[in-house]
Amino acid sequence: MQEYNPERVVLLRQVERLTQKTISEKTGVSQGTLSKIENRQVELTAPVVSKIAAAFDYPVSFFEEATGAAAITSLTYRHTSSTSVGELNAIAAEYSMLCGVVDRMSASLGLRSKTTWVDAMALRDDPDDAGVIERLAEKTRNSLGLPPNGNIGNLTRALERVGIVVAPLHSLTAKQKANLNSDGVTMPARGMNLMPVIGYGIRNNTGDRLRFTIAHELGHLLLHKYRKPATYRDMEREAHRYAGALLMPQADARILLGDHFMLSDLARLKASWGMSIASMVSRASNLGLIDANRTRSLQIQINSRGWRKQEPVHVGDEHPVLMRQIMTAKYAGKTPGLGIDSLTAEKELKVPFRYLDQWSDGLKEYGAELGFSSKRFEPETAHMA
């Protein structure tokens, strides 16, 4: 007899941001029964699973999975005091679903980890000076097969080549009621033999900001896998410094930002380095190339020009391809070009196809040309390839 996991009902509510009342209204299952199911007072039965799955377009196999959502405290992402618990739970739930898919796919395809260097390089002790983080960024470039100096053409592809999954998350992309100050998320303490996963949001983001976000989350993987700074602010400051050091090495920064530069100079650098003007000001400040007064003056100028919200100079988006390649390798139709077998994929991977589509930055679904396709997220609340 098939057993179903009641924690998956909780996870569904979290990722879809639903109440028990809403599920009750959609399925006809009483709110009291749902409460007892979630508290393991009564069994989650096949009829109830079928009703919930049908109402919210989930495969029945979703409820067969043994795991629940990751603990919020195990993830790294920024949020404001106005962020609701519901938003935080949605991110943790979706990230857990993504990691589950990555683990099943890598096991099925026999993908070997190429990121043992992450565990080997991850700091065990607090850095006694800022140079530790600078050197960590230098070692990262070497491990990624990148030159020690110069700009990084495509950071996302550099990470994907060594088996780090980078994926857009719906929960970080959809419009939220609160002002969620979070662009990326990862789990530093994820198992050594598992593929690292970085999730990011594209809501109101630009190419330069996304590159910095991905570098920032990579910093968390290396800086906070085995240690946790005394304060949350220190943790973010470390990851921020690492991101700047990875994107613009110290030797380059001293040449490019060493003189009395103007914001117009940074605007010209932005196009070739893929870094925001604000992040380059921060980089110069961190390296002591400009003092506190000069830093403050430049930040005031940025604010007065409205560049905090929208900077000049466009930096193109980087689009991940690893998840799409993995999905295609496993679930592409027998006829080339017809796309993904969505029904088999969501049954075996135990998540709705629309999430697989989101995480893969867009999938062509088998049968779509005939008018048969799974539901997608609404265009105004999700990225569509």
d(CA 27, CA 121): 50
Q: What percent of the chain has pLDDT over 90?
A: 73
Angle, CA of 177, 182 and 183, to the nearest 5°: 120
Summarize the confidence of residues 357-364 as an average pLDDT. 90
Q: Do 276 and 356 share a domain, yes or no?
A: no
In a domain, 56, yes or no: yes
pLDDT in tens, 224-243: 999 999 888 899 999 999 99
Q: What is the mean pLDDT of the chain?
A: 88
Q: Specify whether 158 is located in the same domain as 233.
A: yes
pLDDT greater than 90 at residue 80? no
- pLDDT surpassing 50 at residue 377: no
Same-domain check for residues 56 and 110: no
Question: Stretch 327-356: mean pLDDT, rounded?
Answer: 86
Residues 205, 153 within the same domain: yes
Q: Is the same domain home to 273 and 361? A: no
How confident is the model at residue 163, as a pLDDT?
Answer: 93
Average the pLDDT over each of 81-90, 252-261, 283-292 and give the range with the smallest value. Answer: 81-90
**What is the pLDDT, as a whole number, of residue 333?**
64
Within a domain: residue 90?
no
pLDDT of 366 above 50: yes
Query: Regarding beta strands 197-200 and 184-186, do their DSSP bridges make them parallel or antiparallel, or are they unpaired?
Result: antiparallel
Q: Would 253 be classed as within a structural domain?
A: yes
Question: What's the pLDDT band for 365 if we cut at 50, 70, 90?
Answer: low
User: What mean pLDDT comes out for the span 143-165?
Assistant: 96
How confident is the model over 93-118, as a mean pLDDT? 92
Res. 85 pLDDT band, cuts 50 70 90: confident
The domain boundary residue, chosen from 41, 68, 95: 68
Q: Are 376 and 354 in contact (CB under 8 A)?
A: yes
Claim to verify: residue 212 and residue 350 sit in the same structural domain? no
| 382: pLDDT strictly greater than 60 | no
Q: Do 264 and 144 share a structural domain?
A: yes
What secondary structure letter does DSSP report for 178? S
Last residue of a domain, one of 16, 46, 68: 68
Total tally of structural domains belonging to the chain: 3
Question: How high is the pLDDT of residue 191?
Answer: 83
The stretch 310-333 carries a mean pLDDT of 92
What is the distance between the alpha carbons of residues 308 and 301, in angstroms, rounded to a whole number? 10
Burial of 355 (0-12, 13-18, 19+ CB in 10 A): buried
The reply to whether 3 and 119 lie within a common domain is: no
83 inside domain: no
pLDDT of residue 363: 87
- pLDDT, position 297: 96
Chain centroid to Cα 141, Å, comes to 21
Retrieve residue 10's tokens: 């909780």
In a domain, 74, yes or no: no
Is 179 a domain residue? yes
Q: Which of 16, 42, 68 is the last residue of a domain?
A: 68
**Residues 198 and 341 occupy one common structural domain:** no
Q: What is the pLDDT of residues 199-221, one digit of tens each?
A: 998 777 789 999 999 999 999 99
For residues 16 and 108, state if they share a domain.
no
pLDDT at 336: 58
Residue 335, domain extent: 322-381
Eight-state DSSP code of residue 242: H
> What's the pLDDT score for residue 338?
63
What's the CA gap between 317 and 328, in Å, rounded?
22
pLDDT value at residue 130: 85
* pLDDT for the residue numbered 181: 44
Tens digit of each residue's pLDDT (9 = 90 or more) over 4-13: 999 999 999 9
Position 315 in a domain: no
Q: Considering the domain boundaries, does residue 355 fall inside one?
A: yes
Q: What is the reported pLDDT for 332?
A: 86
pLDDT of residue 287: 96
Q: Does 180 score more than 70 pLDDT? A: no
**Averaged pLDDT for residues 360-374:** 60
User: Are 173 and 41 contained in the same domain?
Assistant: no
Contacts of residues 68-71 at CB distance under 8 Å and 24 or more positions apart, as own/partner, are 68/5, 68/7, 68/8, 68/10, 68/11, 68/96, 69/7, 69/10, 69/11, 69/14, 69/15, 69/93, 69/96, 70/95, 70/96, 70/99, 70/187
pLDDT single digits (tens) 277-321: 999 999 999 999 999 999 999 999 999 999 988 999 999 999 999
Report the pLDDT averaged over residues 143-163: 96
- Shared domain check, 182 and 108: yes
